[in-house]
A and B are shown apart, each in its own frame.
Chain A
Amino acid sequence: MAKKLIILLASVVLLSPVSVLAHAGHEHGEAKPKLKKVVVESAETSPAPSQAQADLMRENSQLREDVEQERLNAAKRVAEIVTDMSSTRSSYIIIGLLLGAIGLVIRYLPGKEEK
């Protein structure tokens, strides 16, 4: 029972699609930034704002929206930096195989101290 549970959990952890999908910035779906509400501050409160004040408010609001939009666009543009492993891939394969071979040799060395 215990062995089965451990094998099941090991399989879940090691073979889980989560380990592939869960890396930050992964590819499925369009990245949709969390939108921050654009808060437009009210202009000086006066009973009857002048035309100039109203224009200023409108301009201010438009500017804020533009800045926020630009920021969100920038977030969407953040691209993944791609690695070119072609030149070093074989080195890592060789080191990996070598380490694996060392592991197997150690594993199957006779345990001299065993009673």
Chain B
Amino acid sequence: MKLLDAIKEQNYPVPAHSMRLSYMFGGIAAFLLVPLAVTGVLLAYYGYVPSAEQAHKTAADATVFGSLAGIRAVHSLTAELFLALIFLHATRIVVTRSYHGERKIIWYTGVVLLFVAAFFFLTGTTLKLDQAGYETYAHLTLFTSVNQVWFRGAHVILLPILIVVILGVHALLIKEKKISPLAPGRRSDDEPDSTFFHHMQHVVAYGFIATSVAFLLAAFYTPPLLGAPVEGVEWTKPPWPFLFLYPLNSWALISIPLAAFAGLVALPFLTKPEKRFDLSQAIYFVVVALWFGLSLYGAFKHYA
């Protein structure tokens, strides 16, 4: 009974605006960790052998034969959806400027989550060890001396644990400081309250729908797997979230993430909730525009 009471206690009131889809992007992204974990475990258990000699062959086998091809596609597409939702979640936070005041700490845990998720994604692309995976690995090790085994260990053990722990802290902080308010100037105290369980009901529903989208896409589209890598040459492009790096030089791999991290940390200090549109939002949208422009340029730039 104590457990039941403890669960009931979690059903605290939340504002009605938390039922809007834009206030659920983060929750849906968190839900997608479930299909990511399930498909990842299936791939590891039934097909993929993470050794330097076997990695590419087993990834290729998984791609060509049987239902593992679809599982790999679902895993990959869900990962892309996961990153896209995190980006949309961050954008909603910036639009409503939910990082001001004592909510800064939630934003900071979210920024760390964003970087862990991006690194998680990148290490995943190295696992298949095809030409694209090899090139990602080569770029990631430009400034470090870690080997491929480290990346595999990170993707399979370290980063999943890290992301769950940080996500737990992020969620606890949200519970303590409440779900983000509406944008400044749009607060409405007369809105009827909803409850946390009702909010979560919708998050889980949209999470299922997002997973179904990944399955339906996987039925018709398989993420590419190239042949075994040829060392010393570079001719593939990064996956879309990192395509903006393609037109830039190797130092961008260090300087851009550092600058992005510094910028995201600085946003709560630049916000002025009393204004309709403030400097923090301007900086964020300029950076997003740059990211989009460079990505577009990278997509159409001829292999150099």
Query: Which residues of A come within 8 Å of B, CB atoms?
Result: 2-3, 5-6, 9-10, 12-14, 16-19, 21-26, 29-34, 36, 71-72, 74-85, 87-93, 95-100, 102-107, 109, 111, 113-115
13 pairs of residues in contact across A and B, judged by CB atoms under 8 Å: A2-B92, A6-B91, A21-B299, A23-B239, A31-B235, A32-B304, A34-B303, A34-B304, A71-B230, A98-B212, A107-B201, A113-B11, A113-B198
Task: Identify the closest chain A residue to B302 (Cβ).
Answer: A29
Instruction: Give Cα distance in the complex from A42 to B195, angstroms.
Output: 77
Question: Would you give the shortest CB distance from A42 to chain B, in whole angstroms?
Answer: 22
Alpha-carbon distance between A105 and B212 when the two chains are bound, in angstroms? 13
B69 A83 Cβ-Cβ under 8 A = yes
Number of A-B contacts defined by CB within 8 Å: 216
In contact, B91 and A25 (Cβ under 8 angstroms): no
Across the interface, A22 reaches (CB within 8 A) one of B194, B220, B243, namely: B243
- Cβ–Cβ < 8 Å partners of B91 in chain A: 5-6, 9
CA distance A113 to B238 in the complex (A): 46
A72 to B131, CA, bound (A): 13
Q: Are B194 and A36 in contact (CB under 8 A)?
A: no
CA distance A30 to B303 in the complex (A): 8
A114, B238: Cβ atoms closer than 8 Å: no
Q: Does B154 contact A (CB under 8 A)?
A: no
Residues from chain B with a CB closer than 8 A to the CB of A5 are 91, 95
CB of B233 within 8 A of CB of A85, answer no
Q: Which of B106-144 contact A (CB under 8 A)?
A: 125, 130-132, 135
Given contacts A6-B91, A24-B226, contact A75 B69 (CB under 8 A): no
Closest to B211 in A: A99
User: B299, A91: Cβ atoms under 8 Å?
Assistant: no
Q: Is there a chain A Cβ closer than 8 Å to B261's Cβ? A: no
Assess the A78–B230 pair: CB atoms within 8 A: yes
B239 touches A93 (CB 8 A): no
- What's the Cα separation between A100 and B211 when bound, in Å? 8
Q: Which stretch from B42-50, B162-170, B252-260, B290-298 is at the chain A interface?
A: B290-298
Q: With a CB–CB cut-off of 8 A, which chain B residues contact A9?
A: 87-88, 91, 288
Choose among A16, A26, A87, A88 the residue that contacts B237 (Cβ–Cβ < 8 A): A26
Residues of B within 8 Å of A23, CB to CB, are 223-224, 237, 239-240
B216–A92 CB distance below 8 A: yes
In the complex formed, the residue of B with least CB distance to A77 is B227
